[in-house]
Chain A
């Protein structure tokens, strides 16, 4: 009786949630895959995949997108690891962490917009360059500015998981390593870094996948010089209206995502994307 009652409750709870899974999780992905087999005139075809894999434009675009995502992730990692490490040594790490995470609560578009002003011809970055004697340079709409702004936006998402794994590291391991005569570098490369690898992997996952799909930054900051997979999808869906080809690139992006998640392990808890949660 008791068990039966619980079961009936169970199904009642589940109706809206299961509907959501069916309609908004499973159906859209299936539709995207289905759509990738249709050409622009609505005929069934494998042509999209053929075009994708035989066209050097699409392949170069994919390689470029992966390369820039790699650069962004590397830059973010190089800045974030020391930050997370030093954060852990401060007196009030939680407060510092909160301050690092706060900018993620500011709308992404506004941050991109700020850099349009900073990097503009007569903007503050060029004023600084003139001041130190280098002279003004074209900053906006370059690949450098694209990587810079993307890394700027992603830093908190990298710091958070790395900080979590560093704060879980037992200081006794570090002490033991020092007692056994390891130099600072050895302690770092043989003890600290390997033990905080899960955090680094989670961070890479949280940065690399979005970096493949950023599209407003390539427009606003990169001046369309770098075409990411995300930009290509957006272009095909909203500008050229070739949904079939857009879906094909979407399938490629999904496959890339699965590969990255497989390489970095774990289920991809991206709820770290909005700071504050642990």
Chain B
């Protein structure tokens, strides 16, 4: 009896699991299909990948998207980490809560609101739409996630560590670079990774602030998908699937590292 029920349960989970993955696998499978629709598999070919690599416009967009993602997450990580340190140093709980509430506004706002309000903002400041405005927006919406990833690490750090360093004559810069930053490094890394995936994934905000000359991959896929099926996009999705896998695995190892690191610290303390 219990044996049978157990199987039913697994069946439901497998079903959800299959429904979640089927469309993604479907996309990748058809990237290898001859012909140009996603209806019948006509035999194996690499030609769509060849088209993809010959499409210099798409390659350029891909590289620019990557550049935006790396630059924006790097800058957002720096600003966010400093912000988290600042939040940790605030003494009054009211100030702290207010700042945290402001920090979370961009996390809960719908993308359309962020996009539309940034568009008004850039236009009001006469910042031209293009690479710069997209980069600024990506930095802006990545900062709060970095703060949320780094702050718990800082709070976990004991103040006696800082006092010891200060007693031993470390100045502010040494304190930051040799004590605080190494300690919170795992948090900084997770923040950076999160920012990276936020940036790579974003469509709505970019769509609003991108202007005419500049596009990112998401926006490009949107405009091509509106024109119908094109198996080159399938090939692209195969590549992006690989990239996502690399990111997930990378993130997993960072988490593993940080939990091992934590266990080591605990052991050393004993």
State the A residues within 8 Å of B (CB). Answer: 2, 5-6, 9-10, 13-14, 16-18, 20-21, 23-29, 31-32, 35, 79, 82-83, 86-87, 89-90, 96, 98-100, 102-103, 105-118, 120, 122-124, 127, 152, 155-156, 209-210, 212-213, 215-216, 219-220, 229-230, 233-234, 237-238, 243, 246-247, 250, 253-254, 257, 261, 267-271, 274, 276-277
Contacts and interface: CB of A to CB of B under 8 A. Distances in A.
B265 interface: no
Given A20-B140, A110-B221, A105 B197 contact: yes
Given A9-B172, A277-B194, A110 B13 contact: no
B39 A230 contact: no
Given A20-B139, A107-B240, A116-B229, 14 more contacts: A9-B89, A10-B90, A16-B82, A28-B117, A29-B117, A107-B217, A107-B218, A107-B221, A110-B240, A114-B27, A118-B26, A120-B38, A152-B19, A267-B104
Contact of B110 (A99, A155, A257, A277): A257
Contacts of A79: 16
B52 interface: no
30 contacts: A10-B90, A14-B82, A21-B99, A24-B143, A28-B114, A32-B113, A90-B13, A96-B13, A102-B248, A103-B21, A106-B241, A107-B218, A110-B27, A110-B233, A113-B237, A116-B228, A117-B37, A124-B26, A124-B38, A230-B111, A238-B207, A243-B120, A250-B117, A254-B109, A267-B101, A269-B107, A270-B108, A274-B145, A274-B194, A276-B251
A96 B207 CA distance: 34
Contact of B172 (A5, A116, A213): A5
B208 interface: yes
A83 B16 contact: yes
Nearest to B80: A17
What is the interface of chain B mostly: helix, strand, loop, or mixed?
helix
B131 to A, nearest CB: 17
Given A13-B82, A17-B79, A220 B225 contact: yes
B192 interface: no
Interface of B: 9-10, 12-13, 16-17, 19-21, 23-24, 26-27, 30, 37-39, 78-80, 82-83, 85-86, 89-90, 99, 101-114, 116-121, 124, 136, 139-140, 143, 145, 147-149, 166, 172, 190, 194, 197-198, 200-201, 203-204, 207-208, 217-218, 221-222, 225-226, 228-229, 233, 236-237, 240-241, 244, 247-248, 251-252, 255
Contact of B13 (A24, A87, A210): A87
A32 B120 contact: yes
A177 B248 CA distance: 40
A24 B140 contact: yes
Contacts of B140: 20, 24
Contacts of A14: 82-83, 86
B94 to A, nearest CB: 15
What is the interface of chain A mostly: helix, strand, loop, or mixed?
helix
A2 B167 CA distance: 11
B20 A31 contact: no
Contacts, number: 247
Given A6-B89, A107-B200, A99 B225 contact: no
Contacts of A220: 222, 225-226
Contacts of B120: 28, 31-32, 35, 243, 247
B104 A27 contact: no
B107 A268 contact: yes
Most A CB atoms within 10 A — which of B39, B99, B143, B207?
B39
B116 A20 contact: no
